[in-house]
Amino acid sequence: MTWHEAGAEFLMTDAETGAGAFPIGRSCPFDPPKEYAALRADRPITRAPLRTGGNTWVLTSHELVRRILTDSRLTAYRPPGALRMQDPDELPPPEKIPLVALDPPEHTVHRRMVANEFTVKRIRGMRPFIQQVVDNCIDAMLANGRCSADLFTALAVPVPSQVICELLGVPYADRERFLRIADVLVDGGSTEQQVATAIDELREFLAELVAGKARAPEQDLLSRLIVKYQEADTYQPDQVISTAQVLLNAGHETTTSMIGLGTLALLDNPDQLAAFKANPSLAPQLVEELMRFLTITDTVCFRTATARIDIGGVTIERGDAILPLSAAANRDPAVYENPDALDIHRSARKHIAFGYGIHQCLGQNLARLELEIVFTTLFARIPDLRLDAPLAGLPYKSDGMIYGVTRVPVAW
C-alpha cells in the first residue's frame, strides 16, 4: 500500500507547518501543501502573510511563475537570514553578493565566466567518474553483510560529495575534511551552531583552496575560473570563493535530497518502478518527472520588486516581496495531465524545479547525469530494494530552502 493509498499524513503542529503563513509545511513528503491547489484555482496570485512577519505576493500557476521569473524588475538578493529585501535600495555592492543573488549586469558577466563548465558535452565527460563513484558506494552497501543500509549516508551523501570534489579540484588529501564539513551542512540533525561553524570552516577551506589554485592552476573548474578572471584583469578571490560555495550548496545538497527522496518516491510507486526496471532507457524521463513531482526547491525563488509591476490582474508595488511557488507551478493541471501522479512516461521538461529565467540552475546537467546513473545502477544491482521502516516515521527536512529526507533505511 502506497502513501496516497493509505491516506497517510505527517503529524505536524500548526507551529511546524506555519498554518496560514508562508512557507507552508508539507502534509505528505511527496506533495506540495494542499493549499496550493485551492489558491491556483481561485487566486493564482494573492497576498499572503509570511512566517517571519510581513506579507508576500504568492504565485501558484505555471504561467505566472514563469512570467515573474523572467521579469527584469525583480532582485534575487536576500539579506543573510531573511526571506526578502525590506528595501531595494539596501543592496550591498556586487562583490559582496553571491552569483545566485546577483542582478544584471553583474550577474551576466559572472555567469558567463562559469557557464561553459556545465555544458552537456563537458558534463558527459564526467560519466565514467560518476559511474565509478556510484559503483563503489553500492559495492560497500552490498559488502556490509547485513543486507540493509541507510541509503542516505551510503549513497545519497557520498555521490554528490565526491563528484563536487572532483569538479572543483579538491585535492585527495583534503577531501576527508571537505566531506566532513559537507556532511554537517546536509544533515537535518545538525544544530544551528553546528551549521554556522561548518559554514565558517567551509569558507576558510575554500579560501585556502582558491589561494592555492591561484598560485598553481590545475585542470579543474576553480583553476580555469581563476585564470579567466586573471586574463580579464578582474580577479577577486572572494568572488571565486562565493561561486565555489554556491556550486557546493546547489550541486551537493539538492542532488543528495533528490537521491534520498526520489528513491522513496519510486519505492512508494511500485508500478512506476517496475516500468523503469523493465526499461532503464527511461532514465532521462524518470529524472525529469521526479524533479517535477518532488520539486524540493519550492521556495528558493523568493524575489523583491524593484519597480511597480502589473501582472495577473494585480499591482505589485516597489519593495513588495514575491514568492513564486515552483511546486505549485509543477502541479498545474493546465500544463500536466493528472499532475499529482508520478508518471515516468510523461514529458515533464517544462518543469521549473531548476528555476527559470536568468537564474536557472547552472548545474542542472550535472544533477541530471548523477541522478540518471544513481537510479539506473541502484535498481539494476539491487532490484529487490525495499524500504525498511514506515515512510511516515522517517525524518524529513522541511525547515530549510531545500526539502528532503535525512534517513532512508532500506533492505534487500
Cα–Cα–Cα angle for 32, 288, 30, nearest 5°? 25
Copy the grid coordinates of residue 99: 552569483
State residue 69 phi and psi, 5-degree precision: -75, -5
Domains and CATH numbers, the chain: 34-75+98-411 (1.10.630.10)
CA nearest neighbour of 259 among 352, 353, 371, 403: 371
How far does Cα 396 stand from its chain's mean position?
A: 15
Q: What is the pTM of this model?
A: 0.91
Query: Does residue 8 surpass a pLDDT of 70?
Result: no
Query: 147 falls in which pLDDT band (50, 70, 90)?
Result: very high
Q: Which residues is 56 bridged to in the sheet?
A: 48
State residue 378 phi and psi, 5-degree precision: -60, -50
How far does Cα 175 stand from its chain's mean position?
A: 22
Q: What gap in Å lies between CA 173 and CA 175, rounded to an integer?
A: 6
pLDDT of residue 49: 93
CA dihedral 267, 270, 275, 279 (to 10 degrees): 30
pLDDT of residue 18: 40
Q: What gap in Å lies between CA 317 and CA 303, rounded to an integer?
A: 13
Give percent of the chain above pLDDT 90.
Answer: 70
Contacts of 251 (CB under 8 A, 6+ apart): 160, 163, 164, 167, 363, 366, 367
Give percent of the chain above pLDDT 70.
Answer: 92
DSSP 336: S
CA nearest neighbour of 320 among 46, 20, 23, 35: 46
Q: Which residue has the cell 508576500?
A: 56
- Over residues 260-273, the pLDDT tens digits come to 999 999 999 999 99
